[in-house]
Amino acid sequence: MQLTTILNRVEYFKSFVYGKEKWVENAARPTIEVNIEARKNGRPICSCCGRTAPCYDRLPQRRFEYVPLWGITIYFVYAMRRVECPRCGVKVEKVPWCDGKNQLTTTYRWFLAGWAKRISWKEVASVFGTSWQSVFRSVKHAVSWGLAHRDLEDIKAIGVDEIQWQRGHKYLTLVYQTDKGCRRLLWAGKDRTVKTLLRFFRMLGKERSARLRFVCSDMWKPYLKVIGKKAGQA
C-alpha cells in the first residue's frame, strides 16, 4: 500500500490531490516529502474572506510537517497560490491542512498537543523528533482554539500548576478544570507571578470565580495570595 493511499483515507482534501512522494537524501532523520497539487478544476480560496477568486501567481514551494509515520518524518510540499480577490486584493490562498505561516500542519499540531497532556513537552519533542518550540506552539494553538470555543459555566474545581519552559527560571502558569467528568486545560500564561494568575481570574470573571468550590495548587506564595483574594470561599 502506498503512502498516498493511506493519506487519502485519513487526510483527504477535496480540492487537492497528492502527487509524487520521495525520500529525502542526507536528512538527519528518515524523511519523506509528499507533493500536493491543486485539482485542475478547483479555484483557490481567499484566506481573508473565504471566497473563491482567480489565481494571481504562485509562491515558491513550502514544506509543511505532518504526523510522523513509523518514525519517518513526513512533509507536505506545496507552492501556495496567490489570489486576485475583488474584495481583499492580492492575498495568499487558504489551504485545508494549515493556516497562516505555520510550518506544522493543523493535524500535527493537534497530535502534539494531545500527547503534551500525557507526557512532558520535552519528552513529546524527543519521541516525535521535533522541537520543544513546536510542541509549545501546538499547545498554544489548542489553547487558543479552546478559548474561542470554551464553556466556562459550571466550573467548580480548578488546579493551578507551573512548568519550566526554558533554562533560567522561565515558567508558564497552567490552570486546569478538575471537575469529575470534565478535566481540561482552561488557560495558560507566561511567568508565575501574582499578575499572571490575576489575568486568569479576570478572564474567568467575578461571578464564576465566586462559584469555585475547590482549588488545588502548590505552596507557591504568589499563587496562594491570588487564590485567597479571588477564590477565598473555595
67 in Cβ contact with 108 (< 8 Å)? yes
Distance separating alpha carbons of residues 98 and 175, to the nearest angstrom: 28
Q: What is the mean pLDDT of the chain?
A: 91
28, 93: one domain? yes
Helix (H, G, I), strand (E, B) or coil at 49: coil
164, 210: one domain? yes
129, 216: one domain? no
123, 98: one domain? no
The pLDDT tens digits for 111-156 are 999 999 899 999 999 999 999 999 999 998 988 888 778 788 889 9
Q: What is the residue range of 197's domain?
A: 153-230
Alpha-carbon dihedral sign for residues 213, 160, 138, 6: negative
3-state helix, strand, coil in the chain (%, to 5): 30, 40, 30
User: Which of 149, 175, 209 is where one domain is finished?
Assistant: 149
82, 97: one domain? yes
20, 71: one domain? yes
User: Which of 117, 149, 181 is where one domain is finished?
Assistant: 149
Reported as a pLDDT band with limits 50, 70 and 90, residue 1 is: low
Domain total for the chain? 3
Reported as a pLDDT band with limits 50, 70 and 90, residue 27 is: confident
Share of the chain above pLDDT 70, in %: 98
User: Which of 103, 118, 139 is where one domain is finished?
Assistant: 103
DSSP output for 110-142: HHHHHHHTTS-HHHHHHHTT--HHHHHHHHHHH
97, 17: one domain? yes
Angle (nearest 5°) at CA 76 between 74 and 77 = 130
* pTM across the whole model: 0.70
192, 158: one domain? yes
56, 70: one domain? yes
174, 201: one domain? yes
78, 139: one domain? no
Q: Does the pLDDT of residue 168 top 70, yes or no?
A: no
In total, the chain counts a number of residues equal to 234
Strands 89-92 and 157-166: unpaired
* 12 against 148, higher pLDDT: 12
144, 169: one domain? no
* pLDDT given for residue 222 in this prediction: 93
Identify the CATH number of the domain in which residue 167 sits: 3.30.420
Average pLDDT for 171-180: 91
